[in-house]
Amino acid sequence: MRSTRNARIGKRSEQQAGDQYLAQVLKSSWLRLKADLNERMRFESCEVVFTQDGLFVIGQQRALYQMIAKPTIRGVAIREAVGGAALVFQTQEGEREVARFTLPYIEAFRQALPAIQAWIEAEAEGEGETETRHGASSAGHAHGQAQDHEGKSVCASCGKRALPGRRKCMRCSSKFAMMRRIIAYCRPYRKPMMYSGALVLIAITIELIPAYLIKLIIDAVTSPDEGSRSAIIWLTVGLAVAHVLSTGIQVINNYLGVRIGGKLMGDIRRDMFDSLMKLSMRFFDRRQVSQFIGRIQGDTEELKNFLTSGMIQIAMQLVLATGILGLLFALNWQITLMILIPLPVAAGMFFWLWPKLNSLWYSQWQAVTAVQNVIGEALQGIRVIKAFAQEHAERDRFDRANENLVARMVSMNNLWMSVSPVFSLVIALFGIIVWYAGGRAVLDGHMTVGTLTAYTTYIIMFLGPVQGFGSSLGTINRVLGSGERVFEIMDAPIDVPDRPDAIAMEEVQGEIRLENVQFGYEQDRRVLRGIDLTIRAGEMIGLVGPSGAGKSTLINLICRFYDPEQGRIMLDGCDLRNVRQDSLRSHIGVVLQETFLFDGSIAQNIAYGAADATPEQIMEAARVANAHAFITRLPEGYDTQVGERGHRLSGGEKQRIAIARAVLRNPRLLILDEATASVDTETEREIQEALARLVQGRTTIAIAHRLSTLRGADRLVVLEQGHIAEVGPHDELYARRGTYYRLVEAQKQLTHTAPSEVG
């Protein structure tokens, strides 16, 4: 029995020691990452914890799964697979897989990877400053901007993702610099804001007068003399005048605030939208639309409120507190010194709370963005959600994001609510000190009752700004967060900029030449490899190839939505990078598979990009596009409202309006990307007739799913795995029995089309 009990005690002691050790590990950690899969690919939560000595994988109920000493680690990588990924370390003994996780966790591991690499590459403590084998990949790079293994910008302080062009992420960037930048929006409105500031100073001065007048009234009542009655009358009139003046100034200030606020918000929104319009396509590739809407609406409103009222309110609180403090010293400097004793405690709490609240605000912003993204994606894909009966799954996805947001909000509120009572206690100490010391002073004859009343009134007024500083803390954090989100858009680099000496091409013949063009959306994934191709002016080219061969990418490069990584694209002998983008695209007409129509009339959509078009020109373009007939059958004709994204029209009708839009533009270069892929046979025939008229005399590049629709092309360019496999007319390529022949035969088998129709 005793041995069994001793064994249990020993086991319990070992467990306690293990718990204490893991607690120490967690306490000394500099990075903690959560994962959600075990080695059998089943859902099981664990945490990868990094300390200066090594890494630890801790499971549920603080079970230690793995431990790797830092000196044995040689490298780290994220190995991605379908539906998830794994964190893998190279050690002296070989490769070790540390954690597995699903797609939602991948981004967190990617962001942490540069910091982990820097940690691995750092020399042992005491052997000099930390260096890295790859300076550009280190999160602590001393010069320029740090980058990770993918060439993406990372924070020089914490190793997390940062905006290109910035050395630090939003969490680590200077708050004072951010505040200066926000306040800079007030510069165009210096005069009205100076008037507003002057009115605030006058209002503060007037606000300090009534308490002193009350002191004089009470002293006149408690110690009457011959002039007391007339003095009370004039002092009462003075009180009334002070209140009337204060109200009038407040009305004028509110009027100025509304006018300035509307203009400020307009300026910020305009700058944000201008920045969005200037950004290249790469910026939007991995971002969701909903987050931009939230920033343009919510964040600009937050900045406007701060600049027009919040900033003035904070300044007013500072001036008011300073003025009241001066009066308190004038009334009784001994008591004033006594009440200042609790202030260092409040100041210490303020500086202790600031970084914690800032971190929590940043986390809450991330959670809010995640919720907005889920909502935006669900609303945009509502048709697919309902078609696959995935409402419950989407609710679960929203619940996870929402629960995360609630948890972040609760954490922040818990911190604030735990500190708020201490602030209240500090404030209560002011009153206790005043009543004790003031009461003694009145009894001893060193202070009149009126002076004590005025003093207590000023103390109450003084507590207002003191309490306001606490709420201002939250206001400033919210404003800084909004400023970061706003300036993230404004500061985002333009991947495809116009050169300072870029030219405008007034006349275009339409010859396109691609020389050794190589491109990839990701640095390690090439989509196009060494493309050499010349398209003659007025020639129609059909791009053919399996899905993912690079057809749409080639069109994106010709439109200069992206620039090639190597090689160049020439238009009439001029490198596209030397041509202004607006000039280039003024000569290009595009008809895409997914036609986008703006919420407006049919006429407005046809005239998009040709605002000076006459009604006759719009109708002529519609006739060329075989759209005039169906438009005139509509009750409101060309004034018919198409609705958001053109949802009131059929796919074929939208496509013909898109063709009319291209006709009206009268481009020299025409891009047709699957223009007939999503319509029925009869509609396709009408669209093909319209396209046949449209391509006359224009350099045309067409992509089509149905290869038979490209038989009329002068040449077909067959792409395969990013290379040009074949070039030539339909009959010639089909006779070669190469890649194009295989594509045609495969389509025959799928569609059961007779050989005479395709081959």
**Least confident interval from 152-156, 200-204, 282-286, 473-477:** 152-156
| Residue range 667-683: mean pLDDT, rounded | 73
**Least confident interval from 122-131, 240-249, 693-702:** 122-131
Contact by Cβ (8 Å): 450, 217: yes
CATH of the domain spanning 504-587+671-680+699-759: 3.40.50.300
CATH of the domain spanning 177-491: 1.20.1560.10
Cα–Cα distance measured from residue 560 to residue 583, given in angstroms and rounded to the nearest whole number = 11
SS3 of residue 527 by DSSP: coil
Sign of CA dihedral 428, 431, 434, 435: negative
- Phi and psi torsions of 724, nearest 5°: -85, 115
The answer to whether the 504-587+671-680+699-759 and 595-666 domains have the same CATH topology is yes
Cα–Cα distance measured from residue 643 to residue 631, given in angstroms and rounded to the nearest whole number = 15
Cα–Cα distance measured from residue 172 to residue 139, given in angstroms and rounded to the nearest whole number = 13
Q: How many residues in total does the chain contain? A: 759
Q: Which parts of 444-504 fold into alpha helices (H)?
A: 449-491
Cα–Cα distance measured from residue 369 to residue 401, given in angstroms and rounded to the nearest whole number = 9
710 or 169, higher pLDDT: 710
- What per-residue confidence (pLDDT) applies to 158? 52
- What per-residue confidence (pLDDT) applies to 397? 84
| Residue range 449-461: mean pLDDT, rounded | 83
| Per-residue model confidence as pLDDT tens digits over 485-544 | 788 888 877 888 888 888 988 888 889 999 999 998 876 678 898 889 999 998 999 998
Cα–Cα distance measured from residue 630 to residue 617, given in angstroms and rounded to the nearest whole number = 17
Cα–Cα distance measured from residue 674 to residue 655, given in angstroms and rounded to the nearest whole number = 11
| Tokens of residue 156, six digits | 């020089």
Query: If you classify domain 2-121 with CATH, what class do you get?
Result: mainly beta
- Phi and psi torsions of 718, nearest 5°: -95, 120
CATH of 595-666, one of 1.10.3720.10, 2.40.50.140, 3.30.2350.10, 3.40.50.300: 3.40.50.300
Torsion of CA 15, 19, 20, 25, to 10 degrees: 140
| Residue range 634-641: mean pLDDT, rounded | 87
Identify the CA nearest to 719 among candidates 706, 738, 700, 747: 738
| Tokens of residue 90, six digits | 């190279």
Instruction: Give 457's pLDDT tier (boundaries 50, 70, 90).
Output: confident
CA atoms in the 13 A half-sphere facing the CB of 32: 10
Instruction: Give 569's pLDDT tier (boundaries 50, 70, 90).
Output: very high
Q: Which amino acid makes up residue 673? A: D
| Per-residue model confidence as pLDDT tens digits over 690-728 | 777 777 888 988 887 777 778 778 899 999 888 899 999
Mean pLDDT computed over every residue of the chain? 78
Contact by Cβ (8 Å): 56, 25: yes
- Is residue 470 scored above 80 in pLDDT? no
Contact by Cβ (8 Å): 376, 289: yes
Contact by Cβ (8 Å): 290, 372: yes
% of the chain surpassing 70 pLDDT:
81
Residue ranges per structural domain of the chain: 2-121, 177-491, 504-587+671-680+699-759, 595-666
- Is residue 128 scored above 70 in pLDDT? no
248 or 227, higher pLDDT: 248
- Phi and psi torsions of 341, nearest 5°: -60, -45
| Residue range 364-388: mean pLDDT, rounded | 76
Count of beta carbons in the 10 Å neighbourhood of residue 430: 21
Cα–Cα distance measured from residue 543 to residue 514, given in angstroms and rounded to the nearest whole number = 14
| Per-residue model confidence as pLDDT tens digits over 344-353 | 776 777 677 7
- What per-residue confidence (pLDDT) applies to 570? 92
Instruction: Give 610's pLDDT tier (boundaries 50, 70, 90).
Output: confident
SS3 of residue 93 by DSSP: coil
Q: Are strands 588-592 and 669-673 parallel, antiparallel or unpaired?
A: parallel
